[in-house]
Amino acid sequence: MKIKYDPKVDAAYISFKNRGVEVTTMRITEDIAVDFGPGEEIVGIEVLDASKHLELSPEHPRIELENLACS
């Protein structure tokens, strides 16, 4: 899993699988979209206006991992 944040556009993308597959995007809200791959597996989630939805600071974004190793 990868989490990318672009402070210039205040958008985050949480990638669960390699994005090399064809996806179908389902917009959940105006700011949140889910990408589905083959077999309706979730490939990733896009969050626009991420500082609001994820309580990120665009200047110093931080995430906390629980029960996960960071490589």
Confidence bin at 70 (pLDDT 50/70/90) = low
pLDDT tens-digit readout, 9-27: 999 999 997 768 899 999 9
Task: Write down the pLDDT at residue 35.
Answer: 95
Contact 25, 34 (CB under 8 A): yes
22 φ, ψ (degrees, to nearest 5): -70, 135
Domain boundaries, the chain: 2-53
Q: Bridge partners of 3?
A: 14
Overall average pLDDT of the 47-64 stretch: 82
What is the rounded CA–CA span in Å between residue 45 and residue 51? 15
- pLDDT over 70 (residue 28): yes
Torsion of CA 33, 34, 38, 43, to 10 degrees: 120
